[in-house]
Amino acid sequence: MDDSPNEVPELNRPTKIDNIEEPKTVDELQKELDLLKAENQKTKRNLMWKVRKLEKDKILTENEKIRLERELKSLRGEVERFRSPPLVIATITEIIDDSRMTVKSSTGPSFLINYSKFLDEDLLKPGSRVALNQQTFGVVEVLPSEKDANVSGMEIEAKPDVTYDMIGGLDEQIIEVKETVELPLKHPELFEKVGIDPPKGILLYGPPGTGKTLLAKAVANETNATFIKVVASEFVKKYIGEGARMVREVFELAKEKAPSIIFIDELDAVAAQRLKSSTSGDREVQRTLMQLLAELDGFESRGDIGIIGATNRPDILDPALLRPGRFDRFIEVPAPNEDGRREILKIHTKKMNIDPEVRMSELVELTEGLSGADLKAICTEAGMFAIREERDHIIKADFEDAINKIMGKNKTGTLDDNGGVMFG
Distance CA(300)–CA(373), nearest Å, equals 36
Q: In the bound complex, what is the minimum distance in angstroms from residue 211's beta carbon to ligand ATP?
A: 3
Under the binding rule (CB under 6 A), the answer on residue 309 touching ligand ATP is no
Angstrom CA distances, 79 to 76, 132, 234, 315, stand at: 5, 20, 21, 30
Under the binding rule (CB under 6 A), the answer on residue 342 touching ligand ATP is no
Q: In the bound complex, what is the minimum distance in angstroms from residue 178's beta carbon to ligand ATP?
A: 16
- Cβ neighbours of residue 99 closer than 8 Å, sequence gap 6 or more: 114, 115, 117
Beta strand 139-142 pairing with 260-265? unpaired
Question: Per the annotation, where are the binding residues?
Answer: 209-214, 348
Residue of 86, 184, 198, 209 interacting with ligand ATP (CB under 6 A): 209
Of 113 and 366, which CB lies nearer to ligand ATP in the complex structure?
366
Please give the full DSSP string across 114-178, using - where no structure is assigned: E--TTS-TTT--TT-EEEE-TTT--EEEEPPPHHHHHHHHEEEESS----GGG--S-HHHHHHHI
Find the length of the chain: 424
The DSSP H or E segment spanning 263 is strand 260-265
Which range in 131-139, 162-170, 243-251, 322-330 contacts ligand ATP by CB under 6 A?
162-170
Of 133 and 312, which CB lies nearer to ligand ATP in the complex structure?
312
Distance CA(82)–CA(279), nearest Å, equals 11
357-376 residues in contact with ligand ATP (CB under 6 A) are 372-373, 376
Which range in 76-84, 98-106, 165-173, 235-243 contacts ligand ATP by CB under 6 A?
165-173
Query: Which residue, among 117, 116, 113, has the nearest Cα to 104 in the 3D structure?
Result: 113
Of 198 and 340, which CB lies nearer to ligand ATP in the complex structure?
340
36-55 residues in contact with ligand ATP (CB under 6 A) are none
CB contact burial 362-374 (16+ within 10 A = b; e otherwise): bbbebbeebbbbb
The residue nearest ligand ATP at its CB is: 372
Under the binding rule (CB under 6 A), the answer on residue 170 touching ligand ATP is yes
Under the binding rule (CB under 6 A), the answer on residue 312 touching ligand ATP is yes
Question: Per the annotation, where are the binding residues for ATP?
Answer: 209-214, 348
Residue of 87, 113, 177, 214 interacting with ligand ATP (CB under 6 A): 214
Binding site for ligand ATP (CB under 6 A): 167-170, 208-214, 265, 310, 312, 344, 347, 372-373, 376
